[in-house]
Chains A and B, each alone.
Chain A
Amino acid sequence: MLELYGKTLSSRLLLGTAQYPSPAIMAEAIRASRTEIVTVSLRRETAGAGSGGGFWSLIRSLNVDVLPNTAGCHSVKEAVTTARMARELFATNWIKLEVIGNPDTLQPDVFGLVEAARILSDEGFEVFPYTTDDLIVAERLLEAGCRVLMPWCAPIGSARGPSNPDALRSLRGYFPDTPLIVDAGLGRPSHAAIVMELGYDAVLLNTAVAKAGDPVRMASAFADAVDAGHAAHEAGLLEPRDMAVPSTPIFGKAVLT
């Protein structure tokens, strides 16, 4: 079981709700993913449209917890205010904190991220920081009050998969007791399995499912991969070696030359 800020979960997959071909497919993909947490956002409402209400009632019907994000925020102030608005609207202390530093890579501004994390933690928020795989930034985020870390494995939406497994391995090694969730950059179920085999606690993804040819089937494939990677880690993976080792016993082999 996975525990995030006191909440116990059986699924280790967190799923975004953006970019699906339709709300119905989104809902079906969420069910197929077996996720218990979905990410949501806040955007400008249109007068008289009530457009947010329809989406919100659909999410509420799915019996999942919501993790609001501060996506698109480029400053501490913007992210903090968005988090406060999200807390009121979604009635949760959880916030996926994004402070974007670069428009092309969507790389976090890690300095602003730490500052915003400190402000929000002091206000009682339970912060899920979208961060890089930098060890020292991770330390600063924990000092700022975060009890979960969400390092990227590649830029958001890039589908490139883990581009620096050594850094992910290092984070896992240094923070054995902190829930670590790979957020962003996963493209394939095998990518999810790799990070789970590294000992990560969960993965968060969106585009790879939403933009798949069949999002519902892909959601299910990711769920299976996450479970398989986690089971493999728990079971104890064989360390690679340079030379061959016979798997069939030599003892008892016939001499036929």
Chain B
Amino acid sequence: MQLTINGEKKEVSAATLAGLLVELDYRGDWLATARNGEIVPRDLRSECRLDEGDRIEILSPMQGG
């Protein structure tokens, strides 16, 4: 199915958000995730089913002021 991940359209096969992170090689325990504008906490990623057209944001710590 096609999702928008961090603003880019991608064809993926994972059924859950946890699976998506593995499929796309997002590593580390410093990631925060959102689906369609709502936070998906770490513990709920494996239960978070993905649907065609979902907008996924995958964030990490960055420099800030």
Contact = CB atoms under 8 A, between A and B. Distances in A.
Nearest to B63: A18
Nearest to B24: A47
Nearest to B41: A88
A218 interface: no
A249 interface: no
B57 interface: yes
A193 B61 CA distance: 31
A135 interface: no
A169 interface: no
A109 to B, nearest CB: 18
Contact of A52 (B25, B30, B39): B30
User: B33, B63, B64 — which one has the most chain A CB atoms within 10 A of its CB?
Assistant: B64
Contacts of A81: 34, 37-39
Contacts of A77: 37
A111 interface: no
B55 to A, nearest CB: 12
Contact of A68 (B42, B58, B64): B64
A113 B6 CA distance: 25
Interface string A14-50: 0011111000001000000000000111111101101
Given A44-B7, A45-B6, A56 B64 contact: no
A51 interface: yes
Given A81-B37, A89-B32, A47 B61 contact: no
A5 interface: no
Given A51-B60, A85-B34, A44 B6 contact: yes
Given A69-B65, A89-B59, A47 B38 contact: no
A43 B30 contact: no
Interface on chain A toward B: helix, strand, loop, or mixed SS?
A: mixed
Interface bracket on A: 35 or more
Contacts of A40: 61-64
Interface of B: 6-7, 24-28, 30-34, 37-39, 41-42, 57-65
Nearest 10 Cβ contacts at the A-B interface? A52-B60, A41-B64, A16-B65, A206-B65, A85-B32, A43-B62, A45-B60, A18-B63, A56-B61, A48-B25
Interface of A: 16-20, 26, 39-45, 47-48, 50-53, 55-56, 59, 68-69, 71, 77, 81, 84-86, 88-90, 156, 206-207, 210
20 contacts: A17-B65, A18-B63, A19-B63, A20-B63, A41-B61, A42-B32, A44-B7, A44-B60, A45-B6, A45-B60, A47-B25, A48-B25, A53-B28, A53-B30, A68-B64, A81-B34, A81-B37, A88-B42, A89-B31, A206-B65
